[in-house]
Amino acid sequence: MDQRRIKELIDLLGASDLTELTLSEGGSTLCLTRYTSAAPVPMAVHTPDVETSTQHSAHVLAVTPPQAEAQAHQDSEVRSPLYGILHLTPSPDEPAFVQVGDQVEVGQMLCIVEAMKMFHQVRSTVSGRVEALLAKAGQEVESGQPLFRISEAR
């Protein structure tokens, strides 16, 4: 995968509501992740080339808007990054990523939203306790629809 193609994919991710993009092409796999926490987090782009067995990496700084300083309540909602089908488990015969009452950390996987046969990981943006699951497994969810309510640890 050439540098121009990687730059185009980074720009595409930045202009969309997606939080993660994984692409396998010609023996290389590219995984881009955007974190939406208050502080920008560097994201690594790895493109291992099977033929030469070398690994290239580029680092990109994620751009995120600043969050409001004062929140009206201590609960945060984790929302769907895009329209798709909600999956609460990694596969049908495995347990859910999280359940109501579980403690979660920033960046912890909560669920997957499937859109056009692509699976997008939804990760927690706050640390705290899962207070409510706001959508059902297998349900179609809209972009921006609340999926979880998490009581922030303060």
pLDDT for res 92 = 87
Could you please report the per-residue DSSP string of the chain?
Answer: --HHHHHHHHHHHHHSS-SEEEEEETTEEEEEE---SSS--EEEEEEEETTTTEEEEEEEEPP-PPPPSS-SSSEEEEE-SSSEEEESSSSTTS--S--TT-EE-TT-EEEEEEETTEEEEEE-SS-EEEEEE-S-TT-EE-TT-EEEEEEE--
Categorize the per-residue pLDDT at 36 as very low, low, confident or very high, splitting at 50, 70 and 90. low
- Residue spans of the domains in the chain: they are 3-61, 75-152
Domain 75-152: CATH architecture, name and number where available: Beta Barrel (2.40)
pLDDT level of residue 35 (50, 70, 90 thresholds) = low
Overall pTM > 0.75 = no
Average pLDDT, the chain: 75
pLDDT of residue 71: 42
pLDDT tens column, 75-134: 789 999 999 999 999 988 999 999 999 999 999 999 999 998 889 999 998 999 999 999
The pLDDT value given to residue 138 = 93
